[in-house]
Amino acid sequence: MTDDTDVWKIASAADAARARAAAAGIVVAAGTPALDRARFLTSLSARLRNCLDQGGTWELRLLTGGTEHEGRLDVRLRPFDGGNLRPIDDGHLRPIDGENPRPLDGGTPRPFDGGTAEDGSACEPVLSCPLPNPPAPGGRVGRPTSPSRALLSADEDTAAVLRLLDEQERLVQLHREELHQTNQGVLALHSDLEAAALAQRELLEAERSARAEVERARRLLNFLADASAAITSSLSPTEVLRRLTDLLVPKYAARLDVWLFDEEQGEEEGPVQEHSRAAVVAARTGRPQHAAAHPGNLPGTDDLPPAAMSPDRPLLAIPLITHRLLGVLTLIAPGPRFDADTCLMLVELGRRAGVALDNARRYEQHRDTAEALQRAQLTELPDPDGLLLAARYLPATQGMNIGGDWYDAFLQPDGSLLAVIGDVTGHGMHAAVVMGQLRTALRAYAVEDNSPAEILTRLHRMLRHLQPQLYATAMIARFRPGDPEVVWASAGHPPAVVRDADGSVRILDDAPGVMLGIPIAFTYADHVTRLPAGSSLVLYTDGLVERRAHGIDPGIERLRQALAGLSTPELEQDLDAAAEALLKPLMHDSERDDDVCLLLCHTVTYPAS
């Protein structure tokens, strides 16, 4: 499409109005959308006002062009220089010599598309508007006949813009309402999320607290189990109390006091001491008592005013009860209070401590009785000419402290002496009874002047007949006055150790016979060994030399070395001290799980008659 140009001279507001009306007619006729049309005409009015504000005469050109499918209206403003234009009507001009502007004073023509002319006057930049339906070339389509009519037509653009504005406002209102609803939903969602987060935090805190409580309860239960095992593994009341103190102080109690009653009268053991009111009430009622400035509200525990012996810290008095009341355990809190879980644990530990103390007391009573019975059966050693005798008996520290170990030494009618050492298998009253039977039978058989081997053979037959489930070991040595030889026989017993007069030590390792009571027929044999004056014979039971971790041979070697370390004067001056010296290197452990018997025989020069 060929460009078409309209030129207008702008010298007054009326000229500007007519030019604007012409431009409006073009864009209206071309079907330019109302919004684009309003924007274009508003911008044109602003430029025209700017030109009028600057003063002088201006030249406005309306150029329509583009293609047949898409047109454009360009508006160009510049100061008017009176060039080759001819008037068509008022203010409307037509170029005479074409569209190109004439140079001013033979110089460069004034531009139409902005910038500054050579004379310093400003030129407005090009203003464009799309024309969907451009006019035919040379056409004057849409030019209004008067500014008044153009002004009325402008209201249509304003109305269209207002309709668009109303529509946009409705859309904005709709979107605002949707946004409001969305915001409300988001706020509700945030509120739900915050509530869920708070609930989750509370659940996590509750779980953390529950885990802490479970862990604390687990630690208390583990402590209770370990403490119970510690106090019940001892059969000594003193040791039970010592272990209880070590376990509870200082973690669970700043101080501990145990008030024990006499077993028969139910009175306090030892000198009378002053005790707290809580301990007295606990002893009278059999219930745990809590004494503090404020109630503890502990489970199963009564509350009392603070105790005079501990006014600043709580005091807990726990009765030690089994089938009867043994005493009261009093604990002073390590801190400002006893909590409920710790109180339950301490009360239960007190109950178990009472059981441990009761068992330890009963064990001591039975042990003392058994030991007295055992010692009552041991022989008072004779004092024959030419022979010194010393014996030691140590009961086991574990179990009932009564077993089948025994020693014996007695004179025969012919003046000889039989030294006997023996050990019945097992422990307890039954073993002690069998030991007594063997001891009595052995003395009876010895009256008939039988040799050591014959005595053992008869004991073997008796034990097989009377006690087929029990066995025993034994060794018998016969000493005859003035005879440097000793006749001996052994029934499965550890070998005797001999120290000769020159200080050398040997072991009587001849093969022993079988144990007494083994279900086979057996005849024992006598053995002879020299034992001149100044020599020593040591008889013993396996409890002296046998250790579970090392066996019996190392123990026999230690006994041999201990015997070699004794001198003849030591043996003859104090044989009891010598017996103690033999025990010392072998009894370095205070705990023994077996009885120990030792019979030391030392020959001296037989006095002349």
CA distance 48 to 20: 8
- Would the pTM of this model clear 0.85, i.e. be above it? no
Please give the pLDDT value at position 365. Answer: 80
Beta strands 289-291; 302-304: pairing state = parallel
Q: What is the pLDDT of residues 495-529, one digit of tens each?
A: 999 999 999 999 998 888 999 999 999 999 999 99
Q: How many CB atoms lie within 10 A of CB 284?
A: 12
Side-by-side strand order, sheet with 92-95: 85-89, 92-95, 4-10, 58-66, 71-79, 122-131, 115-116
Side-by-side strand order, sheet with 596-603: 387-394, 596-603, 536-540, 497-499, 505-507
- Report which residue type is found at 437: Q
Is the omega angle on the peptide bond into residue 250 within 30 degrees of 0, that is, cis? yes
Closest CA to 379 of 355, 408, 337: 408
Q: What size, in residues, is the chain?
A: 609
| Domains of the chain, each with CATH number or no CATH | 4-145 (3.30.565), 233-372 (3.30.450.40), 377-603 (3.60.40.10)
**Full DSSP string of 383-442:** --TTEEEEEEEE--SSTTS-EEEEEEEEE-TTS-EEEEEEEEEEESHHHHHHHHHHHHHH
CB 304 within 8 A of CB 317: no
Please give the pLDDT value at position 97. Answer: 41
Q: How many CB atoms lie within 10 A of CB 341?
A: 16
CA distance 78 to 87: 18
Please give the pLDDT value at position 261. Answer: 87
Burial 532-562 (b: 16+ CB within 10 A, else e): ebbbbbbbbbbbbbbeeeeeeeebbebbbeb
- Which H, E and C letters describe 367-382, residue by residue? HHHHHHHHHHCCCCCC
What the block records as the tokens of 544 is: 């002296």
Please give the pLDDT value at position 108. Answer: 42
CB 525 within 8 A of CB 512: no
Please give the pLDDT value at position 399. Answer: 55
Backbone dihedral region for residue 250 (phi beyond 0: left; psi -120 to 50: alpha; all else: beta)? alpha
Q: How many CB atoms lie within 10 A of CB 242?
A: 13
Using the Cα atoms of residue 82, residue 84, residue 85 and residue 86 in order, give the sign of their dihedral. positive
**Full DSSP string of 314-356:** -EEEEEEESSSEEEEEEEE-SSS---HHHHHHHHHHHHHHHHH
Please give the pLDDT value at position 266. Answer: 44
Beta strands 71-79; 85-89: pairing state = unpaired
CA distance 401 to 136: 138
For the chain (609 residues), the mean pLDDT of every run of 10, in chain order, is 75 88 84 85 90 90 78 88 55 47 40 50 74 67 55 71 84 89 89 91 90 89 92 88 92 90 55 77 92 88 87 91 90 90 91 90 76 68 92 74 82 92 82 84 88 94 86 95 93 95 92 92 95 94 82 90 91 92 78 81 74
Please give the pLDDT value at position 547. Answer: 79
CA distance 581 to 586: 9
